[in-house]
Amino acid sequence: MLKAFLQGKFFGHPLHPALVHFPIGLFLLSLILDIASYLWTTPNNLFHAAYYAMLFGFIGAALAALAGLADWSDIRLDHPARKTATLHMIFNLTVIALFGINLFLRSRPPELARVPLPFLMLSLVGSGMILVSGYLGGTLVYDNGIGVGRHRRHTNTPRRTLDVSIFERQDGWVPVCNTEDLQDGETLRIDWNGTLIAIAKQGGKVYAFQEFCTHRYGPLSEGKLYDHQIECPWHCSCFDIRTGKAVEGPAKVDLKTYSAMIRAGKIFIG
Ligand code: FES
């Protein structure tokens, strides 16, 4: 429930990117005010204004960090962007810590008219890290599609890609997992001799189809499943999981489908 809230499922929009604007803007504003107060001691309330910009930025950053943590926890463990996302998180937590220390130090001598140089340096380092972290966040969204569409999904995302290449065929079928490992309405992502395939279970039946969307290769196992349709998490193309047919664009090309069945408590693909 809390995770769904933090991922923006109740608002129909991801929460983390909406929140980050506040701390970024407020921390940079506090730096500008600091620089102004360092250069000109009059008017002497610039230092105080920087303190309050930093304080509200700190509160906004703490809220954005919670939403970011919820998004980060849904990135597959074997996703190539997982490392970048972890680095992005470490940068952000360091920024919060730096501005937290900065705030603490400033709360002691509130009567200063000019920002002391060490405080200014702390702000400069923190602000520089924000820019690097913002760049990393941008690559996560624009290059890796992380966070895109997750707010629309209501079941768990697959934690990692299952490698089924190691299993021998049995009567032409390859065992994937036990039936109870895939709940109704859920998806799995499997690697079968280098081919990535998504498996979905709905109405007690299993369906297998190509993992990557025919529009721009969005990961369909991370999409939303409903009424025998899978919705691509990136640009909302919909495909019928029974036939692979593209029922809603922007994708125009149908998906490749594979045979799948449940037998003796196991899921097989063929
Ligand atoms: S990548 Fe799937 S709709 Fe664009």
126 CA distance to ligand 1 middle (Å): 36
3-state class of 129 per DSSP? helix
Which pLDDT score is estimated for 20? 95
Q: What does residue 146 show for φ and ψ, rounded to 5 degrees?
A: -75, 135
Ligand 1 within 6 A of CB of 50: no
Within 10 Å of residue 106's Cβ, how many Cβ atoms? Answer: 23
pLDDT tens for 201-219 read 998 899 999 999 999 899 9
Sign of torsion over alpha carbons 179, 185, 190, 192:
positive
**Per-residue pLDDT for 261 more than 80?**
yes
Residue partners of 86: CB distance under 8 A and separation at least 6 = 72
Cβ atoms of residues 267 and 176 within 8 Å: yes
What proportion of the chain, given as a percentage, has pLDDT over 90?
A: 57
For ligand 1, mutation pick of 148, 237, 248 (most atoms within 8 Å of CB): 237
Q: Atom 3 (ligand 1): residue with closest C-alpha? A: 235
Q: What is the DSSP letter of 74?
A: T
pLDDT tens for 77-111 read 999 899 999 999 999 999 999 999 999 988 876 56
What whole-number distance in Å separates Cα of residue 142 and Cα of residue 223?
A: 17
| For the chain, domain boundaries | 2-151, 155-269
Cβ atoms of residues 185 and 227 within 8 Å: no
Ligand 1 within 6 A of CB of 20: no
CATH architecture classification, 155-269: 3-layer Sandwich (2.102)
pLDDT tens for 163-175 read 888 777 777 888 8
